[in-house]
Amino acid sequence: MSKVLNFKQELTACFGQPVSENPTQAMIEAAYRHHGLAWRYLTIEVSPEGLADAVKGVRAMGFRGFNCTIPHKVEVIQHLDGLGESASLMEAVNCVVRRGDKLIGENTDGKGFVESLKPLITIPGKKVVVLGAGGASRAICVELALAGASHITLLNRSANRGETLAKLLRERVKVGLAYESWTSDYKVPEGTDIVVNATSIGLFPDVDARIPLDVSTLKPGMVVADVIPNPPRTRLVRDAEARGCKVIDGLGMLVNQGVIGIRHWTGIDPDPTVMRKALEEVFG
Ligand code: NDP
């Protein structure tokens, strides 16, 4: 039986649920069962001090790979043998894959996001507004640029994080970029094609938290995407739908990054509908 691990230190902070109900585990193992794979995907808490030994354990025990979340996404890099293109550009890894006797770091967060956009819009030449400049935003902005978006307007509350991401994007990818400090309700400019909430505003239990955004500037036909997986129908998703926008919830990104991870580890193309159903059951 093959195994894939999921290193999380702050699982309850990430998803507000105990380890035994970890949504990613439920989603990945539902796909394994559906496709008749006798694999497991186990959630294991690893402290920052234990990370080096945990990766040694992965090597020693022949695991096929693992996912990792904050606080391991950057620190894990020093323990790996190489990085895929996106992970190298972002300097963050959320998915490790064994290739031969090497452990290679990939980043599937932004790729999962871009996959979830594809049924609704073609990305080349599009103008995007991205709210937030944390890890999710970094992954999304890099992949949008690699997918051919023409312009990104990036907004962040704290200048430090916002300017750091803006600098990374200017230096490493080809995309028109404007960085704006986010101090009041943002008015989405005319001609914007895609609006992305990449902040943690609206994540359970703060489900009624309001994003500083003038929703009257969301226009019919715009694509509005929210990264929040729990709850999937966030206040932004509901507001955008009511204004005639096409919406993508955070489950789409989560499912698609899981699909890409399973493809990396097992070589099969899993059925995303089975995976989404498993997540919906966990999130009620
Ligand atoms: P980070 O902590 O790295 O970044 C959080 C971002 O949210 C920062 O830009 C922060 O701004 C901003 N923010 C938080 N609260 C506020 C507020 N009240 N007003 C304005 N800005 C705010 O987190 P991640 O980027 O890793 O994750 C962000 C969200 O994305 C999480 O909710 C996570 O669940 C979700 N996510 C979803 C995935 C999926 O597959 N659906 C995958 C990965 C993440 P500042 O810098 O000013 O603090």
For residue range 137-173, list pLDDT tens digits in order: 999 999 999 999 999 999 999 999 999 999 999 999 9
| pLDDT tens-digit map of 184-215 | 999 999 999 999 999 999 999 999 999 999 99
State which ligand 1 atom lies nearest to the alpha carbon of 138: 25
Best probe residue, ligand 1, of 17, 129, 157, 160 (max atoms within 8 Å of C-beta): 157
The number of C-alpha atoms within 13 Å of 11 and in the hemisphere containing its C-beta is 20
Q: Which of 3, 56, 73, 219 is catalytic?
A: 73
Residue 108 CB–ligand 1 contact under 6 Å: no
Q: How far is the CA of 267 from the centre of ligand 1 (A)?
A: 31
Residue ranges of the chain assigned to CATH 3.40.50.10860:
10-107+252-283
d(CA 274, CA 272): 5
Residue 145 CB–ligand 1 contact under 6 Å: no
* pLDDT reading at 18 higher than 80: no
The predicted pLDDT at position 4 comes to 74
Residue with CA nearest ligand 1 atom 39:
254
Residue with CA nearest ligand 1 atom 7:
199
Residue 129 CB–ligand 1 contact under 6 Å: no
The predicted pLDDT at position 115 comes to 96
CATH class of the domain comprising 111-248: alpha beta
Average confidence (pLDDT) over 52-80: 95
**Active-site residue flag, 277:** no
Residue with CA nearest ligand 1 atom 40:
254
**The length of the chain, given as a count of residues:** 284
Q: How far is the CA of 283 from the centre of ligand 1 (A)?
A: 19
Superfamily for the 10-107+252-283 domain: Leucine Dehydrogenase, chain A, domain 1 (3.40.50.10860)
d(CA 198, CA 136): 6
Q: Where are the alpha helices (DSSP H) in 35-158?
A: 51-61, 85-90, 109-117, 135-146
What six digits make up the tokens of 119? 């049924």
The predicted pLDDT at position 158 comes to 97
Residue ranges of the chain assigned to CATH 3.40.50.720:
111-248
State which ligand 1 atom lies nearest to the alpha carbon of 132: 9
| pLDDT tens-digit map of 86-145 | 999 999 999 999 999 999 999 999 999 999 999 999 999 999 999 999 999 999 999 999
